[in-house]
Structures are given as C-alpha cells and as structure tokens.
Chains A and B, each alone.
Chain A
Amino acid sequence: MAASRVSSYSLESQRVSLARGSSALISPEGVREDGRSPHECRPAFLQTGAVNAAAGSAYAEFGQTKVIVSVFGPRESKKAQAYSDIGRLNCNVSFATFAGSVRGKAGQSTEEKEYSQMLYKGLEGAVALHTFPKTTVDVFALILQSGGGDLPVVLSCASLALADAGIVMYDLVSAISLSRLDTNLLLDATLGEEINQDGSLMLACMASRNEVTQLLLTGEWSQANLSEGLKLCLDACTKLAGLMRSTLKESTSNIED
C-alpha cells in the first residue's frame, strides 16, 4: 500500500499555539489561564484499587494529567541477581500513544526511560526494601494523558499504589512541580505553562518525616526565588500528602463496609 504520511497536521498547529509569551499565561492580576492563582494547585482526584489484577494500584488525575499505577509483588526476582538480603524495586513508566497531542510511538522512548529512573529514585528511599528480601516489587505506571507535571503525579500515584499493595514504607511520597516564568512562580504547572517556563522545580518528599526524596531543578534561579520555590513545593507536598492519606483512609473504610 502506497500510503505515506504527508504531515502530522496536529503537531505543528498544537505546538505553535502553545508557544506564547509568559504574559499570555498569567494576567497582570495574577490569574492563570485556567483561572487559578499562581500558588494554587490543580484540582486533584485520587483513587486506590483502580486495577483489580494488580496487588495494589491507584489512579490519579491532576487537571488534565491522568495516570494509572499498578504494583505487583513482592514476587520472585526476574533474573538471578547477586546475593543480596534486601528487595529490589523495579519501576517502569510508559506513555499511552494518545497521551500527548502527537501520537506517540510504541517502544520505550528515552523520556520513558528517564521517568522510570526518576520514579525509582523518588521511591527508593521511602520503601522499606529489607522487608521483602530477594524478591522484587514492580511499580508500573501508564500515563493516559499528559497535561503537565506528569512525573510528580506518577510519583504521588505510585506511592499510593504501593500503600494499597501493602508494601512497607517509611512514609508516603508526595510530589509537586513548579514552573518559573520570569519571576512568577506557578505551582503545579500545566503543559502550556511548562513549555514556556524559564525554570522548573520538581520536589518529592516524605512530608511527615520532613525528608526530600527527589529534587530536580532546571533553569537559572536566584537564591530568593529558589528558597521561595522550595517552600511553596514543600507546603504543597504536605497538603497533597494529607489528601493522599484521606484517600487511603476512605478506601479502607469502604472495605470494612
């Protein structure tokens, strides 16, 4: 069949429409495109037990970002590893082909690999690996729809799924991202804001232990902006952790009913 793709029509149009000046994304009164104030998070919806076949799972929706995470195990490790008396955490993140504005390709992209690494690093410190020696816990995430702040949503959702699977953890990991547009700090940025940002900050922490498990910063930051950004993220993480806690509580009370 001689069918060949001429152009990806949606690609050009979407990208061009997203690249705008920072002025378009935040009004002088400090209102963002979607009506939020700069330090306001997107409406979040969390739910555990989204996938029945998994040992534990969670679904998270932060604005337009939608993510499912399944946890399997602890189960026998895939390949023979060197002698080790702690368990292994195996993380994998993938995008659905329709997650973005342009159709993705099957097969693991570098972005998926990087996200998988980041997910691992964010969770590693929170999971009590010594409680499942010689076995593996698999954490698999599927991003159904990418709408900005994908990684932090995956991280929070994954820690919920781990809790749902009954994996021993020191604390829940909550994560949030922040975009800097000029000197404006926009908490929990959308995709449009992320594309135009001058700097970004992603923070994952164990809120009740007051420990940062993952931190990612890009762009040039002054000390003042940096301190403020960190504080904003920490506060937001604490709030998010509260929401995650109540989600877990609800799910257990549902079972009792």
Chain B
Amino acid sequence: MTEHEHAASVGEDVELEAFRRLYPLEFLEKFLKDGVRPDGRPLGRARSTLISVGSLPHAEGSAMVKLGNTTMLAGVKLEVMTPSVDFPDEGRIVVDFQMPAICSPHVRPGRQSELEPVVSEQIRNALSSSMMVDLRELNIAPGKAAWMAYLDVYCLDSDGSLLDAALLATAAALADLKLPEVAVTDDGKVLPASSDVQEHRSLKNIQSKRLKLGKIPMALTCAVHPKYILPDPTAEEEAILKTTITVLTDFSGQLFSLYKPGGEVLASTSTVQDCFALAKYRGKELQKIFNNAVIDAEADDAMVED
C-alpha cells in the first residue's frame, strides 16, 4: 500500500467510526439491510458459545461460559444448614448475579449495577419454574442437615445478552456440582469424610454424588427492531435498539417465560412467535454444546476415579 492510499484508508476508518458514533441506528440499519450484523454474523445467528466446567478448584462446582465476548464465571460453594420445618428434606440454592467493576465501563465499584438484581431474579425464576434441581437432592439428614448451595455468577466481560450467558453458566455449574462425601452423626453434625471416625460412634457416611438434573433452562435474548429480530445481541446492538425480548425455554424449546421489559418497539404477536422459533433453534444448538462440555467433565471425573 502506498503512503497515500494508507492515509486515505485511515481517513475512511475515522469517518466510519464517526458515523458509528453519531448515527448509531443508521449505522446498524445499513448492515441489517444487507443481511449481516456489525460483527459479521448473519441476522438470525447467535455468537459462538463456549462452555467449560470445573475451572475453579476452590468451588464444589464451577463453569465458565463465553458467548462471543460476554464472559460468565459461575461457582458453587456449599455450606451445611438446618432445613426449614416446612421442608425438612430440602436444601437451598441461593443464586446471586454479580457485575464486578471489571466487566464494563458503566459499573463502579461499590455501586450495584441496575442489571444485577434483574438478572439474579430471572435466573431464580428460571431455576424454580424449570425445576432443574430437585431441592431434595441436597438433603443430608432429614430435618437436621442439608446443603445450602451458594451459586455466584460473575460477569467478567459484559457484551450483551447477559441473562443468556449467566443462565447457561448457572446450569453448567450446577451440572458440574459434586456434593462431597461426608459423615453424619446421629444429632445431625456433618463432618468431612476424612475426619477421625473413632471419636464419634454413630457415623453414617454419605457418598459423594452429582445432582440429578431435570429440564435445563436456557434463555435467548433478541433485540427487536421494527423490521428485524436480532438474536443474541451485543452490547452495542442492545444500546442502539433499546428493546429486547428474552425467551426462556428448555433445550427442547418448551417455553417457560417471555420477558420484555419495556423498550421503544412494541412486540406484535408475530414478533413473539418469531422469537419462539429462534429460541427453539438455539435450544438445539445449545444442547449439543452443553452436553459435550458436561459429559467431557464427567468423563474426566471417571478417569480420575479409576
């Protein structure tokens, strides 16, 4: 490239960047008209998705999810609790979604992001309506002891579709969760399995196990433009279009919930139906990725145990 041409291309770059900043909607629409999105993918496609489990040795279950640039890290820490009187054989799962200051320029340390409670609530709803985990699985000794699972999902990089990524990380971390082997005394005291058995006469050992999972919830966020529907939007697309619809389903496409918090564009019935269809397609895609990641991890487990 000659120097002159180089300078010209730099000039174009600057112009393009200025256009992008000054007329974001027009910028986006120019792309959409040609059937592509600013990051190069076709209109109806989600970004590449990676799931890896067991990345945190301190946590009893953990998973990392990358959805394009959006990155989530979920970890489960277990504690022993006394079950409530009403549900003596149930444990609890406490989900918290955290947006630390590192993830986005809009979050300040010490101040909760507006999205934190929103995503937390949606994950909680999804877990309870899908009944992914039977809380009785967390039982240790009925009425005396049960597991309390603290599931913290950290957003490490925020680039749109946070709920999709966070829910996926939640599900993967729960799939990775392994209840440790413990010993229980008669009065419900829980001790690590390795502790001295002689001291306590009436010890009952409980084997380590993974949770049995029910239907696994997933979410697909779609940014809505009066003419287009963009599944799995980036932060830029979310900010420009200001309207999102999040469809919560299981992998088979069975709907749990449809979430549209306001926004500039109204959702007609056909828009809603289009979103359902996109979610169904996405469900199939995710199921494969999810199963591969989790099964790989279980295979690793088996090898270690051998």
CB–CB under 8 A between A and B in the complex?
yes
A-to-B contact residues, CB < 8 Å: 1-10, 13, 50-55, 57, 64, 68-70, 72, 75, 78, 92, 94, 96-101, 103, 106, 108, 138, 140-142, 144-146
Contact across chains for B150 and A103 when beta carbons are under 8 A apart: yes
Assembled-state Cα–Cα distance A94/B154 (Å): 12
Assembled-state Cα–Cα distance A96/B182 (Å): 26
Contact across chains for B156 and A54 when beta carbons are under 8 A apart: no
Question: Which of B77, B145, B152, B235 is close to A53, meaning CB atoms less than 8 Å apart?
Answer: B235
Ordered by A's residue number, 30 sampled pairs between the chains whose C-beta atoms are within 8 Å are: A1-B92, A3-B82, A3-B92, A4-B82, A6-B188, A7-B80, A9-B80, A9-B191, A13-B192, A52-B69, A52-B157, A53-B103, A53-B104, A53-B159, A68-B156, A69-B102, A75-B105, A92-B109, A97-B77, A97-B96, A98-B58, A98-B76, A98-B152, A108-B110, A140-B100, A140-B102, A140-B109, A142-B154, A144-B154, A145-B56
Assembled-state Cα–Cα distance A55/B104 (Å): 10
Whether B84 sits at the interface, judged by CB under 8 Å, is yes
CB neighbors of A among B79-137 (8 A) = 79-86, 92, 96, 98, 100-105, 108-110
Whether B283 sits at the interface, judged by CB under 8 Å, is no
Whether B208 sits at the interface, judged by CB under 8 Å, is no
Contact across chains for B79 and A9 when beta carbons are under 8 A apart: yes
Task: For residue A113, give the distance in angstroms from its CB to the closest CB of chain B.
Answer: 10
A-B contacts besides A70-B103, A92-B110, A98-B77, 17 pairs, CB < 8 Å: A3-B82, A3-B92, A5-B79, A6-B189, A6-B190, A9-B192, A10-B79, A51-B102, A52-B159, A54-B102, A68-B156, A100-B58, A103-B79, A106-B96, A140-B102, A140-B109, A142-B154
Contact across chains for B57 and A142 when beta carbons are under 8 A apart: no
Contact across chains for A3 and B110 when beta carbons are under 8 A apart: no
CB neighbors of A among B235-273 (8 A) = 235
Contact across chains for A142 and B102 when beta carbons are under 8 A apart: yes
Whether B62 sits at the interface, judged by CB under 8 Å, is yes
What chain A residues lie within 8 Å of B108 (beta carbons)?
78
Whether B73 sits at the interface, judged by CB under 8 Å, is yes
Give the nearest-CB partner of B92 in chain A. A3
In the complex with contacts A50-B157, A94-B101, A3-B109 CB distance below 8 A: no
B-to-A contact residues, CB < 8 Å: 56-59, 62, 69, 71, 73, 75-86, 92, 96, 98, 100-105, 108-110, 145, 148, 150, 152, 154, 156-159, 182, 188-192, 194-195, 235
What chain B residues lie within 8 Å of A72 (beta carbons)?
105
Contact across chains for B58 and A68 when beta carbons are under 8 A apart: no
Contact across chains for B190 and A99 when beta carbons are under 8 A apart: no
Task: For residue B188, give the distance in angstroms from its CB to the closest CB of chain A.
Answer: 8
What chain B residues lie within 8 Å of A146 (beta carbons)?
58
Most buried by A among B57, B101, B105: B101
Assembled-state Cα–Cα distance A51/B190 (Å): 41
Task: For residue A50, give the distance in angstroms from its CB to the closest CB of chain B.
Answer: 7
Give the nearest-CB partner of A107 in chain B. B110
Assembled-state Cα–Cα distance A3/B108 (Å): 33
What chain B residues lie within 8 Å of A138 (beta carbons)?
101
Contact across chains for B148 and A5 when beta carbons are under 8 A apart: yes
Question: Which of B100, B105, B190 is close to A142, meaning CB atoms less than 8 Å apart?
Answer: B100
Contact across chains for A51 and B157 when beta carbons are under 8 A apart: yes
Contact across chains for B109 and A2 when beta carbons are under 8 A apart: no
What chain B residues lie within 8 Å of A13 (beta carbons)?
192, 194-195
Assembled-state Cα–Cα distance A76/B190 (Å): 53
Question: Which of B83, B152, B189, B195 is close to A3, meaning CB atoms less than 8 Å apart?
Answer: B83
In the complex with contacts A70-B101, A106-B96, A2-B57 CB distance below 8 A: no
In the complex with contacts A52-B157, A99-B58, A106-B96, A57-B102 CB distance below 8 A: yes
What chain B residues lie within 8 Å of A142 (beta carbons)?
100-102, 154, 156
What chain B residues lie within 8 Å of A144 (beta carbons)?
56, 73, 154
What chain B residues lie within 8 Å of A75 (beta carbons)?
105
Assembled-state Cα–Cα distance A58/B275 (Å): 37
Give the nearest-CB partner of B104 in chain A. A53
What chain A residues lie within 8 Å of B73 (beta carbons)?
96, 144
Give the nearest-CB partner of A1 in chain B. B84
Assembled-state Cα–Cα distance A8/B158 (Å): 33
Task: For residue B212, give the distance in angstroms from its CB to the closest CB of chain A.
Answer: 22
What chain B residues lie within 8 Å of A64 (beta carbons)?
57
Assembled-state Cα–Cα distance A101/B71 (Å): 23
What chain B residues lie within 8 Å of A96 (beta carbons)?
73, 75, 98, 100, 152, 154
Assembled-state Cα–Cα distance A92/B80 (Å): 32
Contact across chains for A92 and B59 when beta carbons are under 8 A apart: no
Assembled-state Cα–Cα distance A94/B76 (Å): 18
What chain B residues lie within 8 Å of A94 (beta carbons)?
100-101, 109
